[in-house]
Amino acid sequence: MKNIVKGLALALIVVFAFTSCAKQPTLLMDAAKAAIQGVVDAKGGIYAKDELAKLNGDLQAALDAVNAQSKKFFKKYGPAKEMLTKVADDAKTVAALIPGRIAEAKAGAETAIGEAKTVLEEAKALLEKAPKGKGTKADIEAMKADLAGLDTAMMDVDAALAAEDYFGAKDKAAAVKEKAAAIVEQINAAIAKVKR
């Protein structure tokens, strides 16, 4: 009888040891969350949207795996630990990509701004050469007003660039360029009409 009691006690100690040793990997969970927050802080929501969404999905899958194991009698957190480690490593990789993407977006915005300013200046120069007569005075005044509006829009573009909203600056510059190019076409058409 004593042997049976000793055997049961030993078995309970072994079971307790196995179940109590398997603790949730809270340090790894915190590290993975912190790594993802690092991506967010580095403007990953703007410059790495898809990667950030995947990281959040992978983190949720790892947390689900931890929760599933926590409900079991014999807990095995090994796979969940691997998932959490991979999420943290992937987040560090994504965070390292972001500065390059920011530089690329900035360069794209600066190029678009340069093109918009060039077309805007061309429109202003052509407007000075536009044929002036009774029938064109109202058109010229309207185009001057449009160009003044585009000058104001360029201030918004410059403000967006200064605020590091590179995608916004690029889009606004493209809109200014398109409107200025339309004015250039109108002026060229008026000049061509007079030459006939």
Q: What is the mean pLDDT of each run of 10 residues along the chain (196 residues)?
A: 61 53 83 94 91 94 90 87 94 94 93 93 84 70 86 91 91 93 84 67
Closest to 25 measured CA to CA, from 69, 91, 74: 69
116: number of Cβ within 10 Å: 26
Q: Which residues of 126-139 are buried (b: 16+ CB within 10 A; e: fewer)?
A: bbeebeeeeebeee
d(CA 189, CA 181): 12
What confidence score (pLDDT) does residue 7 get? 58
Residue with tokens 């927050």: 37
For residue 76, give the DSSP letter: -
Measured in whole angstroms, the distance separating CA 118 from the mean position of its chain's CA atoms is 28
Q: What is the pLDDT of residue 20?
A: 47
Structure token digits, residue 109: 């915005």
Structural domain boundaries of the chain?
A: 2-101, 103-195
